[in-house]
Amino acid sequence: MTRVVHYLNQFFAGIGGEDSAGVGPGTAAGPVGPGRRLGALLGDGFEIVATVWCGDDHAAAGDGVAAEIVAMAAEAKAELLLAGPAFGSGRYGLACARVAAAAEAAGIPAVAAMHEDNPGVGDAGAAPVVGVGPSAREMPAALDRLAGAARTVAAGRVLTPAGGRVGPVPRRGVLAEAPAAARAVDLLLARLGGDRERSEVPLPSFDRVVPAAPLADPAGATVVLVTEGALVPDGNPDKLESARATRWQRYPLDGLDRLEPGAWRSVHGGFSTVWANEDPHRILPVDAARDLEREGAIGVLGSEYLVTVGNGTAVATARRFGVEWADDLRRSGARAAILTAT
Amino acid sequence: MRAVEFGPATGYAGGVLTVARSEAEARLAHPALDGVRLSWASPGEAVRIVKVLDAVEPRTKGPGGGGVFPGFTGPARPPGRGETHVLRGAAVVAAGYLPRAQEGLVDLSGPAAPLSPLGATHNLVVEFRPAAGAAWEDVDDALRRGLLRLAVRLADAAVDAPPDTVEVLATAGRRNRPGLPRIAAVTNLQTQGAFKDVFVYGRRFAAALPTLIAPGELDDGAVVSGQFGHPGLKNPTYLHQNHPVVEALRLRHGHDLLLAGVVLAPEPVEAAGKELVSAHAARLCALAGIDGAVVTKEGGGNADADMALKMDALEDAGIAAVGLFAEMAGPDGTAPPVVVPPERATAMVSTGNYDERLRLPAVERALGGERFDLAGVEATAALEVPTAVVYCSLSPLGWGRLTCREQLERSIA
Amino acid sequence: MLCNLTGIALRVGAPRIVPTRGIPYPTGDPALPPAEERAWRRRLVEQALVAVSTPVEGPTLFPLDGGP
């Protein structure tokens, strides 16, 4: 009999709506809300022994929360963790994905359920994501798909795209029989022979980004400078990495009309930083922004700038930084950001 | 070559390469260097080389042969004819700090050893101290020239020994056999200036348009690396000398293809330059009657843009193209593998995942530095690192067998 | 977003893109004398303000005349 723990957000757990989005993780014995129907669909051989929930905002806040939630599932002796369905809800989807990823990493098989366009589909790590409809109106069908995926995973089989899997399938390093150069020659001769489909690397698909509505009037707005050019105060006091960023930093621009060469440097490892170090404005255009602020073309230049390094930085990390920067900027009252990219 | 050692005189006898320290140190002497230290690191030893810079295979043309490494130790003229003497199984390796060099490592035993060509060679490791007040560019130049001189000296020491193998390399060129496709190796070189540069005939290549050379010129050291970026993606001088794509094409030359030549191209740092170089490379291949190309790169995501542009330009010119790409698929392998894939020439070979984590055991001895700064630990410590830090592990020239496959089998944890 | 490799920016869906002249210097151009380089930088930032004030449906380039 497989012991299942079900993860839900604050809304589906019956805690509250948007007003409760900041609530921390909680748990109850047995199924809650849609978990009851899910339990019935799973049938004999499965039991939802506990439900864990968390507010969407709290879950989106940091890495530690997913671990906390998985610890609660482990306490209930979970043998399988099911998260969602999150449908099209972005924060819920990200939370489900991260919880499923953390569960897998902790040795508990997991499945997350959400719509294929949900930004969370790429964040589930080694855990599979099963595709469901975009809105909660389709809850019955969604629970059906989640139950089906759960049965596949519990049987030790891998959920495939044919079985409803959405999002990327993990790619793992292996040693091939022949060196890459020899395989390239094989692939080239195959292509010359008419095979135009064969490739070791599939073409990627990217997120669809919904553009923000335009600013009505920049003259009244706070505009913030942000960059992945790794421009930091000389000495790199917070040790920003030169490649494969794991974090981002913020530094004050208050009272600065311009950036003095020598007081700033770029620690980016992906290009020659000679020009940037000669004149930091080539990475962060503080001088031009201040001029425009003085002239009233923008309301206020942000009192800080945000910085990371875009050199071999994982896409999932960059995506997370983007979400965190957006949150940070929104809270500080910024209406627009200018991102300089190298 | 069976074994290596230090001894009173540099020489090669009975399969043993002996190096006299004082003579070798003298080869490396230069005002920009305060001193050097030489050590051997051989396959199977519990040794780690950190802060790896360049690696060179000992080669020489022998007396009166015209020299290798044109523009450095040999006259700046296209080489690539006659006999080249190769001390296979050895490498001269520089290790230590240079600015903008990204920290990399080689393990001579354990799981990382098979991931680097230097895991299987007897490495004469050169550690160095810069002279007080010396400009880093001068230190880099002095080290490079010293390394090349030392590599020639080692090969010279063995030149009288009877060869263990003689390879006859067919010359590429105009001669055609009807029905066999003419294939070129298109090799992109990083050309970003100090510590991120690759030299052709001893010259900087950043402003050049793509050029066509004979494969034999690579054998004789026409391309020398001064680029110290992403270690996993590094193409050291050693691999230009033993160009994997050229070797793979040579194996089949005259059977089911003709090796028509090697195109060298710089990797400009701006879009307009990238577009020009890529368009020109495709034109050059078309003029040379090329039917298909294997395209390689050097560097990270920036270089992927050059790959995509070249492959699509070749495709548009009616020339089939395959490109070698390292994936940046994240530690879980679920991120988009290639951020800038080609749009029309979509045949790609994967040389592994940059981000996949490796666990490396502690070692007994480390060369090149006391600490592995990336992890903030002693260089001999056990490490958990991304594949990206192992020297040549993701070999963009196609040396390695590492690749990625979709994990559709459940692994038994 | 101000960047040189606009193909990538378009492909990953960045909605508003101002093309720049080089990877190592997004808001610069070392080939210009200092005053002209500052003027080029100002034009880039002004164009960025135009871009954020313009409605777009999907990834859109906002190139400057005499741009890269």
> pLDDT of A275-306, one tens digit each?
999 999 999 999 999 999 999 999 999 999 99
- Please indicate whether, in this complex, the C-beta atoms of A292 and C52 are within 8 angstroms of each other: no
Residue-number span of the structural domain to which B187 is assigned: 182-357
Q: Which of C2, C13, C58 sits opposite A339 (nearest CB)?
A: C2
End residue of a domain, out of B158, B191, B226: B158
- Neighbours of A, requiring at least 3 CB pairs below 8 Å, are B, C
Is residue B413 very low, low, confident or very high in pLDDT (cuts 50, 70, 90)? very low
Residue of A261 and B179 predicted with greater confidence: A261
Produce one character per residue of B238-270: b if its CB has 16 or more CB atoms within 10 Å, e if not.
bbbbbbbbbbbbbebbeeebbbbbbbbbbbbbb
Q: What is the pLDDT of residue A270?
A: 81
Do B103 and B240 belong to one domain? no
Helix (H) or strand (E) holding B360: strand B357-360
Q: What is the pLDDT of residue B173?
A: 55
Domain extent listing, chain A: 2-166, 218-340
Dmax over CA atoms of chain B, in Å, equals 62
Contacts C13 to A, Cβ<8 Å = 206-209
Whether B269 contacts chain C with CB within 8 A: yes
Query: Does the structure show a pLDDT above 50 at B412?
Result: no
State the complex-level ipTM.
0.96
The 10s digit of each residue's pLDDT in A252-277 is 999 999 999 999 999 998 888 999 99
Determine, yes or no, domain membership for B378: no
Tell me what the mean pLDDT of segment B233-262 comes to. 96
The 10s digit of each residue's pLDDT in B377-405 is 999 999 999 999 999 999 999 999 999 99
Is residue B171 very low, low, confident or very high in pLDDT (cuts 50, 70, 90)? low
Is residue C66 very low, low, confident or very high in pLDDT (cuts 50, 70, 90)? low
- Please indicate whether, in this complex, the C-beta atoms of A284 and C27 are within 8 angstroms of each other: yes
Give the position of tokens 């043309």. B61
Q: What is the pLDDT of residue A177?
A: 95
Tell me what the mean pLDDT of segment B167-178 comes to. 69
Is residue B80 very low, low, confident or very high in pLDDT (cuts 50, 70, 90)? confident
pTM score of the predicted model: 0.81
Q: What is the pLDDT of residue B176?
A: 62
Q: What is the pLDDT of residue A207?
A: 66
What mean pLDDT, rounded, does chain B reach? 93
- Please indicate whether, in this complex, the C-beta atoms of B402 and A243 are within 8 angstroms of each other: no
Determine, yes or no, domain membership for B169: no
Query: Does the structure show a pLDDT above 90 at B371?
Result: yes
- Using CB atoms and an 8 Å cut-off, which of residues 275-314 of chain B contact chain C? 301-302, 305, 308
- Return the residue of A nearest to B330 by Cα: A314
Contacts A189 to B, Cβ<8 Å = 181, 256-257, 292
Write phi, then psi, for A182 (nearest 5 degrees). -65, -40
Q: Which of B302, B308, B339 sits opposite C23 (nearest CB)?
A: B302
Could you tell me the CA-to-CA distances from C21 to A38, A283, B189, B265, B301 in Å, in that order?
Answer: 56, 12, 21, 21, 18
Residue positions counted in chain C: 68
Query: Does the structure show a pLDDT above 70 at A63?
Result: no
Query: Does the structure show a pLDDT above 90 at B358?
Result: yes
Q: How many domains are there within chain B?
A: 2
Across the A/C interface, how many CB contacts are shorter than 8 Å? 109
- Using CB atoms and an 8 Å cut-off, which of residues 216-245 of chain A contact chain B? 242-244
Do B141 and B246 belong to one domain? no
Q: What is the pLDDT of residue A18?
A: 79
Q: Which of B270, B272, B305 sits opposite C8 (nearest CB)?
A: B305
Do B53 and B153 belong to one domain? yes
Q: Which of C8, C11, C23 sits opposite B269 (nearest CB)?
A: C23
Angstroms from B185 CA to nearest CA on chain C:
25
What mean pLDDT, rounded, does chain A reach? 92
Q: Which of B244, B337, B388 sits opposite A181 (nearest CB)?
A: B244
Q: What is the pLDDT of residue B283?
A: 98
- Return the residue of A nearest to B291 by Cα: A192
Tell me what the mean pLDDT of segment B61-87 comes to. 87
User: Of A237, A300, A301, which Cα lies nearest the Cα of A265?
Assistant: A237
Determine, yes or no, domain membership for B391: no
- Neighbours of B, requiring at least 3 CB pairs below 8 Å, are A, C
Do B32 and B104 belong to one domain? yes
The 10s digit of each residue's pLDDT in B249-276 is 999 999 999 999 999 999 999 889 999 9
CATH number given to A2-166:
3.40.50
The 10s digit of each residue's pLDDT in B190-214 is 999 999 999 999 999 999 999 999 9
Angstroms from C5 CA to nearest CA on chain A:
8
Do B14 and B122 belong to one domain? yes
Highest mean pLDDT among A104-118, B40-54, B326-340 belongs to B40-54
Do B39 and B103 belong to one domain? yes
Tell me what the mean pLDDT of segment B112-129 comes to. 98
Residue B26 CB contacts under 8 Å (≥ 6 apart), including other chains: none
Whether B226 contacts chain A with CB within 8 A: no
Angstroms from C38 CA to nearest CA on chain B:
19
Query: Does the structure show a pLDDT above 90 at A330?
Result: no
